[in-house]
Every structure is written in C-alpha cells, then in structure tokens.
Amino acid sequence: MNHTSRLVVTAGPTISREDVHRMLPEAEVRGPVAADQVLRWEWDAGDTLVVIDGVFLQSRAVRHKELLALLDRGVTVYGASSMGALRAAELEAFGMRGVGKVFRSYRDGVLVGDDEVALTHADAESAYRPTSWALVDLRDAAGAAAREGAIDQVTARTVVEAAKSLPFTARDDFTILDAARRRGCRAAALDSFRAYCAARGPGVKHRDAVAALAIAGATTLTSDMRAADRGPSGGLRYRGAPVQLATTTHLRRWTPTSPPFSAPDGERETLGSERVLARDDEVLTQLALDWPEYPAFQRSVAAECLLLQTQPQSGNAAVGEQRRALGDIADVSDHDRTHLEWEPLARALSTRLPDLGLPSSSSEAGDALTLLRDEERDQPWETAGPLLAVRLWLADPRVDWRTPLIERLQGCPAYHQALAALADARTDAAPPVNDPTALRDVCRSVLVRWGVQRASDVPAVLRDHGFTGIDAMVSTLRAHPRKATDASGTGEEGAGHTVPHVGHGTARADWDRHGSVLLPGVLDAERVKATATEAHEQIGTATPYERDEVSSHRDGSFASPAHCGLLPAGPRLQQLAFDEHLLTALREATGMSQLVPRGGSLVVYHHGDFQGLHTDPAEATVTVGIALTERLPSMWWAPSLRDASPDRLAEVVADKGFWPECAEFERLGHPHADGSVRAFAGNRIPHWRTPYSGEEPGLLAILSYTDP
C-alpha cells in the first residue's frame, strides 16, 4: 500500500486490534462503526475504509448515504464479515467492495436476516469480547462438526434451529444448548459439539475479515492511479455508469466542514489524534450557545439567501460574487464581513415579500405571527415583515440553511473558537442529559440567557438561535457535546434540579472497592410498593427454574445448581428500570456515563429454594436488587473472587459447596420498599443465596444495566 494513502479498519468482536495490526501495521483501527462517524474522519481520494464490525442496538447503524458519500469522494470502501458484509451487499452496485462468504451469502439471497451476524459483546476496555454467538458462525461450526463426524446432521440442524428461535441477545452457549436439549438433542451430542467448538479455530466472520484485510493491504495503487481508475468523470458510479450523489439537507447536516487552511495554528491538532471533525449542526449549536452575535448573523444570512432567490443564477456563486450581485438591490458595500448590516437588507426584502410568496401584511401572516415578539407585532410591516420572513426561512424543509451559514463563518474567529470548544468537550465529555428535570432546567437557563422574558417570546428567540421549536432545542441540548465540568447546567437558573443526589465520592469509592453500592432513597417509595403489589399478584404464574449442573458459558460467566421461580417484569417494574433518577444515580456511583437499562425480572423463592454460586451474564454490567418482601435473607457475596475464572469458581464449589458460608465471604442485603436500591457488579463478583427458610414466598426484583 502506498505510504501516502490512509487505511482505516472498523473492528471489534470479529477481529481484534492486535490481529489487524499484525497484518497491516500501518492501519488505523477504530471500534465498531456507528452512524455519524465515518464522515467525521478526514478523507482524501485514494484512502481506504474496511468496514468489518458495526453497531446498531446501542446506536444507529452506519447509513448507506454516508458510505456513498465516501465512494463519491474517491475513497475505496470494503465490507466483510458483519455490518460490512451487510452494507457491501446493499451497495455493491455503487462500488463498495464485498469480501468473503458472509457477503456473498447476503448478496445472493442465501442469507436475508440481519440477525445472522448480530451478537452481543463487551466494551472497548475488554477488547469487544463476544458474549454470544453470531448465527453465521454457529451455522459454520455446526456444519463443520457434522462433516467431520463430531455430531450427526440432526443435532447440527437442531442446534441451529434452536439458536434461530432465540433473540440474538440470548444466543450464548448455555441458552442455545439448553434450547437444543429441549428440542430432543442428546446431552452427549451437545457435549461433543461444545468440545468441538472449543478446539476449533476462528469462525467464518473472522476468516472473512482476514481475507478483506489481505485484499486491502495488497492494494498498491497510488491515489493518482486510483483517481484515474475511476475514469475522467470521477465520483460515484452505479454499475459502472457515472451518477450524481444527491446532496440532501440530511447529508449536509451529517457532513462536517473541515477547518480551512487559514485556521489558527494547531487548530487541526485540537480535533484530536484521530482527527474527528465536528458536524455543521454541532458548530452552529455551539455558536448559538456561546456567541452573542449569532442571532444577528443568522438573520443577515437568511435575508441574503432570500434576496438571492430573486436574482437569477446567483445562488450557486461564491459568497463574494453573491454579495456583489446583492449590490444591485441593497446597499451592501462591505463584501468581507461575516454578516452584513440588517437595515439595508430588511429594506430590500420588505418590497420583495410578495415575489417570494411570503406574507406582505399582518393579515396574511395568520398563525405565523407567533414568530414575532409582542413589541415586534406593533411595528410597521416594513420592519416586522422581514423579521418574520427570515424566521420562516429557517423552517422551510426545502432549504439547506446550514451551508450558507458555515460558508460565511469560516473566516470568523468565533467559528474556530466553537471548533476548539467542541474538541475540548470531547476530551472531557459529560454524559447526555437524560433526566427530564435536569434537561428542563438546562433549557430554561439557556432561554433566560437568550433574553426570554415571557412565554410569547420563546418561538421568536428559538428561531433566532437556529431551532424550529422547543422539541428541537430539547433534543439538541440533550446530546450536545459538553464538558463534564459544565454538565450541571449553564447558569444559576439551571443548578437547582431535584434529581436525588448520591454522595458521589463515597458511592464511587464503595463501587470501586467492593463492586457494590447502596443508593438510599433514589426511587419513590410508593412506586416501589406498587411494584411489589403487582409482583405478588403474579406469583402463581412463575416459571420454575431448575439447574442441576455446574457450567461455564461462552461469555465467561459461571453457574452452579439453582432452584427458584422466574417472572417477567410487569409494567411497573419495567418503568423502574428506566427511571431517570435511578439511572443518573447509577451513572454517578459507578462512573459509567453511558450506562443503559437492559430490563428487569422477578425471582420467586419458596421454602427450600436457593441459587448456587454464580456470576451474571457479561453484558449485565450493573445489577440492581430490590427486596419486595420483608425479611428476605441477605445474599452471599465474594469480592475476594472478583474476576475469577470459571475454573477457579468450579474449584471453590468443589471445595466449599454451592452456597458456602464462611468468614472469607460477605453478606449483602437488599433494601425493602423504602426507595433505596442495592447495585452490584454481578457479572464480575460471584454471589449466591442459601436455601430460603420462609413460609411465605420471597420476592426479589432484579434490574439489569449494561455499559455499551
């Protein structure tokens, strides 16, 4: 590969960073790709992207249009194994290059379900370790085992059918083989298949990834040769014929504007070592928040664009040429300013409102008058009409309003300050604002800072700052990059939210030291009591859960014998799992800013029921327990065995039994009905519950959270 070209690989559970670098030392390896990422990575014609892994559950999947935009720029895009195979099968006609068996199976219609390549996996700190089977890998392993005589064809077919019947999130070793056993497979055959898989090499997804990297690495064309290979017209092609990529307003919003060459020294360095660019909408939001002149700037540019619609063949010209054209109809002599004076633009615009199909009087404006402040409505229409026109322009779905703003900003110091602020926020990023109360206070403080004095001011002020309505403002501020030090709000007005606060330092220390933390009063006690009532009404429908053997699973979790009842979460328990106050407290206490709920369940203990020593599934990063009956005995807990291997836990069980009670282990109680909860790292620290001695059933609510 030519040293001037760039090769980026998106890899995760399919192939490790180390394996990629062993094959391609010069490659930039990034994690599984998601939407809103690839267009942020700076590209030149002749660069190469190899898409292997991608996300779609915890984030939106990479969009087809984003990959088409790279192809249009002359970037070579390969796809294989997982998300890459899916997108390559869908975009092969446009020049995306698919590699491997999985890609061919999708392209030829042999495979049709996205779940064939889906799996769950650990986070980046754990090297994206797979915690479940991808169905294509299971098919490949079962077929090979049957061909080599490790199992018979019926067992191979039944294992695959059993896995296919499960959600992709439940396709771990234990669940798949248990489902196959229930379908009639013999235990000896399943044990043989498990042993075969343990001894077998990488699956088809990994083999396809290796093949894709080998092809990408063997490419020796220089950037100029690649450009020549695309033909004289360059750009995107469909089955070899040149086609034009439609530049939609969505694509413009997803595509960042690179800092110009006149940017201050070091500006590109502030974007980070991986050269992640800010999207235009993020830059404009940052300016709206921090730049006092933003409303005047946006108003001026909107007026320019509206006036240019009355001038034939001037809309696609450079900014300087556009402003020279405006000189025929408005007094705009200074062509170098970021934005022009409002008064001459407003005078020119007021006489052209009918030509633009805009209200030429207050009687024609109708409900649109709500976009004018009270004092603006009292002004002559020559003054109020242009104000209303530029605010209506912002909400026109046919208008790409961000591009002309960005084009006029690139020589402005405020633009570069916004870029630096966004880069700074990403180095010390606060989590999204998910708590409704906190988000309301953040929005209120911003509106006050923008000069809102009464409710009727809000529509006009929002339009002046680039938002079509309050919903657009809320959704933008929820996810807008912010420094962690600014996470509580933007001023005094936003500092007083009522999210229950857990002593951050103490709770975090407890979590780091013990893998467990008690969060007092974080839930409404009445809601917990209502959840307990709901659960008690379902006890008679509990499904018996019986496990008689010791086993370890593909995701590294461990299980020993258990006997209890299980109930799915009712509506009230599900609501508790997604409670914003609880989620905020958990994120604070654990330091996991991206923690998200997986759901909940109920465990029913009758007299004599127990759970032997076990660890939770790997994706259950945080488990929350709430006792729904009084005097539910404490569970036992072994922090000294944190991250112990399944083999080590099997030795403990063999030596001390399924529910050891000894001084080296601890008891861990669950709060009952007072709004407090116990959170613990059940996927890392083994725990168990000794035989239940109560006469009335015991109920434990379990909420599970994962850190994607």
* 103-131 confidence digits (pLDDT tens): 999 999 999 999 999 999 888 888 899 98
Inter-residue contact 372 to 298 (CB < 8 Å): no
- Look at residue 97 and give its three-state secondary structure: strand
Lowest-pLDDT choice from 16-20, 58-62, 117-121: 58-62
pLDDT average, residue stretch 611-640? 90
pLDDT for 220 equals 43
- pLDDT greater than 60 at residue 498: no
- The proportion of the chain whose per-residue pLDDT surpasses 70, expressed as a percent, equals 86
Token pair 């020796």 is found at 220
| Burial class, 112, CB count within 10 angstroms (exposed 0-12 / middle 13-18 / buried 19+) | exposed
What's the pLDDT at 75? 93
Span of 93-107, 434-448, 640-654 with lowest mean pLDDT: 434-448
Between 499 and 353, residue with greater pLDDT: 353
- Across the range 68-96, mean pLDDT stands at 95
How confident is the model over 529-533, as a mean pLDDT? 89
Q: What tens digit of pLDDT does each residue of 555-610 get?
A: 889 999 999 999 988 888 888 888 878 888 898 888 888 888 888 899 999 999 99
Q: Is the pLDDT of residue 67 over 90?
A: yes
Per-residue pLDDT band for 525 (boundaries 50, 70, 90) equals confident
Q: How confident is the model at residue 138 (pLDDT cuts 50, 70, 90)?
A: very high
The answer to whether residue 496 scores a pLDDT higher than 50 is no
Please list, in sequence order, all residues whose beta carbon lies within 8 angstroms of the beta carbon of residue 657, skipping any fewer than 6 positions away.
none
User: What's the pLDDT score for residue 502?
Assistant: 39
Give the pLDDT confidence of 265-296 residue by residue, as tens digits: 333 333 334 556 778 888 888 888 888 899 99
Report d(CA 254, CA 274) in Å as an integer.
Answer: 18
Q: In terms of DSSP H, where are the helices of 578-631?
A: 580-590
Backbone angles phi, psi at 379, to 5 degrees: -85, 160
CA angle 94/95/98 to nearest 5° reads 115
Task: Indicate the SS3 state at residue 624.
Answer: strand
pLDDT at 159 over 50: yes
Nearest CA-CA partner of 53 in 208, 226, 188: 208
| Mean predicted confidence (pLDDT) in 174-193 | 93
Q: Take residue 31 and report the two structure tokens written for it.
A: 């994690």
Predicted local distance difference test score (pLDDT) of residue 316: 59
pLDDT band at 260 (very low <50, low <70, confident <90, very high): very low
Q: Which position has the higher pLDDT, 617 or 482?
A: 617
Return the pLDDT at 264. 39
pLDDT at 179 over 50: yes
Helices (H), 219-315: 223-229, 249-254, 280-290, 294-308
Confidence (pLDDT) at 150 = 94
How many whole angstroms separate alpha carbon 171 and alpha carbon 13? 15
Residue 608: count other Cβ atoms within 10 Å of its Cβ: 10
List the structure tokens of 686. 């083994």
**Cβ pair 311, 326 in contact under 8 A:** yes
The least confident of 164-168, 186-190, 512-516 is 512-516
Mean pLDDT calculated for residue range 502-531: 78
pLDDT number for residue 434: 67
Query: Ranked by mean pLDDT, which of 138-152, 513-527, 574-588 comes out on top?
Result: 138-152
pLDDT number for residue 194: 92
Residue-level pLDDT at 272: 37
Lowest mean pLDDT among 201-210, 369-378, 546-555, 683-692: 546-555
Contact status, residue 214 vs residue 80, Cβ threshold 8 Å = no
Question: Cα separation of 601 and 605, whole Å?
Answer: 13
The mean pLDDT of 12-30, rounded to a whole number, is 94
Mean pLDDT rounded to a whole number for the chain: 84
Residue 149 phi/psi, 5-degree rounding, is 85, 10
Which residues contact residue 137 at a Cβ distance below 8 angstroms, ignoring those fewer than 6 apart?
203, 204, 205
Give the pLDDT confidence of 196-255 residue by residue, as tens digits. 998 998 999 999 999 999 999 887 444 444 444 444 445 888 888 888 888 776 777 777
Strand, helix or coil for residue 667 = strand
Q: How confident is the model at residue 501 (pLDDT cuts 50, 70, 90)?
A: very low
